Amino acid sequence: AMWAPGHLPIGGQHANPTRSSLLCPCANVADAKYRTIKVPHMADSITEGTLKSWAKMVGEQVEQDEEVASIETDKVDIPVNSPVGGVIRELLAKEEDTVVVGQDLFKIEEGAVVEGGAAQSAPKAEEPSSSEPIAAAPKKSEPAAATPKEAAKPAAPKEAAAPAPAKESKPAASTSPVSFSTGERSERRVKMNRMRLRISERLKQSQNTAASLTTFNEIDMSNLIDLRKTYKDDVLKTHGVKLGYMGAFVKASTHALQAVPEVNASIDGDHLVYYDYCDVSVAVATPKGLVTPVLRNTERMSIVDVEQEIANLGKKARDNKITVEDMAGGTFTISNGGVFGSLYGTPIINMPQAAILGMHAIKERPVVVNGKIEIRPMMYVALSYDHRIIDGREAVTFLVKLKEVIEDPRRLLLS
């Protein structure tokens, strides 16, 4: 049994899920081995998503473990890979459809190979179009020869139009300001993706739940900048990673979390949960929104270890390869608005955590050092905290501990 060419279904949003999508007329239906691929399990907390795109269409060859579709969830984009190699025969959902875990997604003919005959028919269809320009070329040359004669005729009107009234018409342009108010004024409506909807929901939940308060301090970055200048080349050569400031701030925050355990805690019902480990979430900006991958057990990591892990997670986030597991948990969050030039800021707590540290831009400012005014590279830092868990004393103490370590990194050797 074969489909007539005029009845072949096409891929994408026009796929007909009620009919067979057999594309190769030479395939043997009796011998074909079809498999229906379902929406895979994505995470314990994710039951549905939005089908954002098809990477493969009906009739295209697919290798085993090759990506066929991408499903957008409220946390990450989940790639759907084919468990077997073959040819896509039918798409059972359209782009922008909501799909649930276990739903039929597409059909594949296992082990099939795309025949070359269909591809060879395309050049034959292009041959008539290539012959038409050759026949049309002489026709185009005839109007071209006539244009010089016609061009001479407008010369007389130009002389008639030469009088100055054309210049006198310019004062009419004085009424042109009206065009500024009647110019094109457009607007665009873009549907919020699942991640943006989830971010807005969680941030508003944080504001409505936590007794949020922010305290500030300033840090002299001179010693940390000198440390980075001295060792950045050695670190890059030895470990293959750039030495930045985030690694030092993660380690300094870990030191402060261990000194002030109230900041490394959360509320669970009518209980306070104190964590003996430090899992630091690092805010990373992506085209789709803000994500917070987690650095786990930072109390066991060195500054270089932290920088390597941040580089790995940052690349995964930008490439949309980050997983739900990468962002699960976290006992404390650091957000670095300084990379965008922020001078001050009051970050919003990442619930159910108790606090979040906000880093800002490094600016040279006059400060008093040993009774003298000096120009130093300074950074403002902010700690937003949940006053239900943390009192002002603990919040201020945390920032002081952080400040001490950043201004004198040698303190990390003593702990």
Catalytic machinery residues: 387, 391
Nearest to 22 by CA among 87, 86, 116: 87
The secondary structure of 264-282, three-state, reads CEEEECCEEEECCCCCEEE
Find the length of the chain: 415
378 in Cβ contact with 218 (< 8 Å): yes
Q: Residue 244 — left, alpha, or beta (φ > 0 → left; ψ -120 to 50 → alpha)?
A: beta
Work out whether strand 98-100 and strand 77-81 pair parallel, antiparallel, or are unpaired.
Answer: unpaired
Classify 320 in phi/psi space as left (phi over 0), alpha (psi -120 to 50) or beta. Answer: left
Where are any strands of DSSP class E within 64-141? 67-72, 77-81, 86-91, 98-100, 104-110
d(CA 365, CA 370): 16
Place of tokens 């359209």: 94
**Which tokens go with 92?**
């059972």
- Structure token pair of residue 316: 């995964």
Give which of 346, 124, 339 is closest to 249, Cα–Cα. 339
DSSP string, 86-103: EEEEEE-S-TT-EEETT-
Please tell me whether residue 243 adopts helix, strand or coil conformation: coil
Residue whose entry in the numeric block shows the structure tokens 């399990």: 41
- Closest to 398 (Cα-Cα) out of 219, 237, 256: 256
- How is residue 407 written in tokens? 């201004």
Q: Closest by alpha carbon to 299, among 268, 273, 331?
A: 331
Pull the structure tokens for residue 196: 């943006």
